[in-house]
Structure 1
Amino acid sequence: MSIWLQLCHAAVVLAAPPTCGAHFGLAPMPRSSLRRRNQGQLIFWPQSRPATMKGTGMAKEAKPAGKKMDALMKPLTPQGPLAAVVGSDPLPRGQVVAKMWDYIRKHDLQKPTDKRVIVADDKLKLVFGKDECTMFEMNKYIAQYLK
């Protein structure tokens, strides 16, 4: 550590406002540990905090290990005609949609001119309730059969 840095670390700036000293590479102390001595004397330290000060009270609290399950990750059981397409095992919503897309691509059920439109076969007609459906509407129809 250079002598200049050691002096800055131990320096007491007389009657200086908290923002003063930044152009010398000094940062004001946090408000919580700001000490005033003899009417207006503030203590400053260099921008890089000493090793003894690192990690003391500035870090956020760690989240508990047993956090709640996200609603999208909650396993849901496909029922009725949807179970015939993706299976009857409990799956998260994202996995159900992924299996639907696997089924659609495997059986080549997308309209060639517009890949956003799904042309329903016999199994998907029972899920969608109509002959064609867009990929945006598909989630609406899937949600009816997830419990």
Structure 2
Amino acid sequence: MDIGLLRFTCASAAIWLTVAATPVHACAVVVPETWGAREMRQAAKRAVDNATLIVDGEVIRPFIPGRQTALVRVARVFKGQQRVEVEVGEGDSCSIILDRLGQKSRMILIGGPSIYLLQEDQSNARYEDQLLGSDRRKVWPFVEDLEPAK
């Protein structure tokens, strides 16, 4: 075999393996246009029912892909075991990544008990909050540098 062809083949294989091994992040969740309040309420109920832990929290250590999970300081627990902190990792392409230090949000988590996953993106917040009996806009404004209401 020609040495040039061998080098080309090896280089091509290395590039192909690198590209094939690179994780792809694509999550397609499309809410049908025909969905109304009833369907959105049902989706929120499923999310709350399936959650292992629901908290309001703040990211105190951001997620770094392949290196570390996010660490969240818990301000309020709505469902699950009372905790001071919780680790949030990455599951699949639909996982919400907590990569901003200081990011504050209501988190509907699955998995655990050591590492949880966040897959609810807050697009159904109104119905989730109704089920939890807590309006996140009133109990903890999600503005940087504000402490949670006690």
Check whether TM > 0.5.
no
* Greater fraction of residues in helix: 1
Structure ID, larger Rg: 1
Report 1 or 2 for greater relative contact order, CA contacts < 8 Å, sequence distance ≥ 6.
2
Shorter-normalised TM-score: what interval? under 0.3
